[in-house]
Amino acid sequence: MNAALELSRVFGRLDEAYDYSTWHWQAGTSRDYVCISAVLVQHTNWSNVEQALDRLEEAGALSLDAIHRMTPAQVARLVRPAGTPDTKAQRLLALAQLAADHGGLASLLSQPAGELRERLLATRGVGPETADAILLYAAGRPTFLVDAYARRISSRLGIGPDGDRYDVWQSWFQDTLRADAAAYRRYHGLFVLHGKQTCRPRPRCAGCCLVDVCAEGQRVAGAA
């Protein structure tokens, strides 16, 4: 089957199965919130990130501008619930410095997509996934965000490119799907919701909305 049609069918089913409004990065979400949480969510779960975000908000520090005026120790104390506080404090301060160097976050995010991505990737602690989260959700650029959920679900469905390199997967999604930031945000959110609730490392294939079109689901069903 045509890959674009197959993905369209997959996302259609996921849209029916999950409440996308529960996804934490919605249209209109604060750019600062996206940037800060994209760093905090590295190697932890969202409930821990929410605790750190609440502490930042209570301290009046839920913006890169506010973080830029703080010491590493102050930031680390506030983001401790998200884990590795010293590391994440340094990464948030590096991102805050990048924004300050460009005249503020809005000015930074207005840079051409390619230049913005390069600047983000050159910033301490910002890898491809974090950079693309900022590009897609904060800057509104049609950049497909590839994470472990996207790769896991696609691989189990039997679609996607060969290999595991981030850029190869991203190119495959962007070549297959029409460039549309709003659609990319929705696709990413649906992948995460499905990956957390159903298509886990140990999948819950029984009752899965994709089981009849999933190579792994059919294998599990056959074995059962």
Task: State the pLDDT at residue 27.
Answer: 84
Q: Binning pLDDT at 50, 70 and 90, where does residue 28 land? A: confident
Task: State the pLDDT at residue 223.
Answer: 66
pLDDT (tens digit, 9 = 90+) per residue, 213-224?
998 888 887 766
pLDDT (tens digit, 9 = 90+) per residue, 163-179?
899 999 999 999 999 99
Q: Name the residue with higher pLDDT: 110 or 215.
A: 110
Q: What is the mean pLDDT of residues 110-132?
A: 98
Question: What percentage of the chain exceeds 90 in pLDDT?
Answer: 92
Q: Is the pLDDT of residue 199 over 90?
A: yes
Q: Is the pLDDT of residue 181 over 70?
A: yes
Nearest 5°: the CA angle 173, 179, 180 is 115
For residue 24, which amino acid is it?
H
Task: State the pLDDT at residue 151.
Answer: 97
Task: State the pLDDT at residue 221.
Answer: 74
pLDDT (tens digit, 9 = 90+) per residue, 75-90?
999 999 999 999 999 9
Query: Domains in the chain, start-ordered, CATH in brackets?
Result: 3-23+145-223 (1.10.1670.10), 31-138 (1.10.340.30)
- pLDDT averaged over every residue in the chain: 96
Contact 53, 62 (CB under 8 A): yes
Q: What does the alpha-carbon distance between residue 38 and residue 137 come to, in Å, rounded to a whole number? A: 10
Q: What is the mean pLDDT of residues 25-38?
A: 95
